[in-house]
Amino acid sequence: MGESPASGADTVAAIGEFGLIRQVTAGRAQPSTTLLGPGDDAAVVAAPDGRVVIATDALVEGVHFRLDWSTPAQVGRKAVAVNLADIAAMGAVPTSVVVALACPPDTPRDVAAEMLDGVATEARRVHVGVVGGDMVSADHIMISVTALGDLGGRPPVTRAGARPGDVVAVCGRLGWAAAGLAVLSRGFRSPVSVVNAQRCPDPPYAAGPSAALAGATAMIDISDGLLADLAHLAEASGVGIDVRSDRLTVAERLVDVGSALGADPMHWVLTGGEDHALAATFGSPSDLPEGWEVVGSVVADTGVTVDGDPYDREPGWRHWM
């Protein structure tokens, strides 16, 4: 799994930590929120709101990505995306990220550089600065990103505010990354649109702050699957949630892939993780901003049901299974 060994001159050990840092930071523009960027003991980032929203996630080779499935740049982009989605889920606007890369000494220099280029590419999409980080030796490649965000004077939208009578809504794609994983696991590399959804998500970053402005009562990033993550929201809020399957969109491409693989595409939509769509609760359907779709309701109960009944399959991803 991964890239073939490089010659000694083309490895991260040959260029060294500071040589690689210089390579990937030279000429990188920073947004106005970056007061002091890479090159010192720590970065300095403006916090106009007076509060900082922080999220962190680690991606480990062989667990969260494979370099025979994804390019290094796609892995770098994914590492940033999963964190910025968490910032958005609090209703905040991301401002900056720091990145830590761990890898074996014989890792090809281009692999590390392309991965960090991917970090910069995804950050640049939302005008976020890559303000610092660390590089260390390890037995396997791991990339960890910490993201910071600004609430713009608003309270954070947590998982704990849903109320009976609220509607449950989603913004973003569901089931695509799970379908892509199924395709890759069978040894295929197409359809590309489905496979790329697993390689690198496309979260609706702007939907989080827009939901907060519209009065969302609770919100969560869908990283482990719609049902699994709604269960976290329901537990935090002390409510139940009923998802209506007839309100969920199953894309035609997922239907085609499901037919080819003998799989149920609705299961991907309900339980598939890594698309990093957002789910939120609102007091009324009329409160929904553009791009959000009602998929269920909040009830005076506990747990999550589908069409009024418990879901009889695994509801999503679980670590250490």
Binding residue numbers = 41, 56-57, 64, 86, 133-134, 159, 221, 223-224, 274, 317
State the Cα–Cα distance between residues 176 and 195, nearest whole angstrom. 8
**Could you tell me the two tokens for 10?**
């083309």
Separation of CA 161 from chain center: 22
Residue 57 token pair: 């996630």
**Would you list which residues are annotated within the binding site for Mg(2+)?**
41, 56-57, 86, 134, 221, 224
Write the CB contacts of 14 (distance below 8 Å, at least 6 apart in sequence): 8, 109
Residue type, 122: E
Binding site residues for substrate, as ranges? 64, 274, 317
Nearby residues of 311 by Cβ (< 8 Å), 6 or more positions away = 227, 270, 271, 304, 305
State the first-to-last Cα distance of the chain, in angstroms, to the nearest integer: 22
Cα distance between residue 8 and residue 22, in whole Å: 19
**How many C-beta atoms surround the C-beta of residue 124 within 10 A?**
15
- 3-class secondary-structure state, position 303: strand
Kindly list the distances between the CA atom of residue 304 and the CA atoms of 11, 163, 175, 237, in Å, as whole numbers in the listed order.
49, 14, 18, 12
Binding site residue list for ATP: 133-134, 159, 223
Among the listed residues 164, 165, 297, the one whose alpha carbon sits nearest the alpha carbon of residue 237: 164
Whether the CB-CB separation of 180 and 253 falls below 8 Å is answered with: no
Task: Please state whether beta strands 293-299 and 218-222 pair in parallel, antiparallel, or not at all (unpaired).
Answer: unpaired
Of 247, 245, 265, 266, nearest in space to 256 by CA: 265
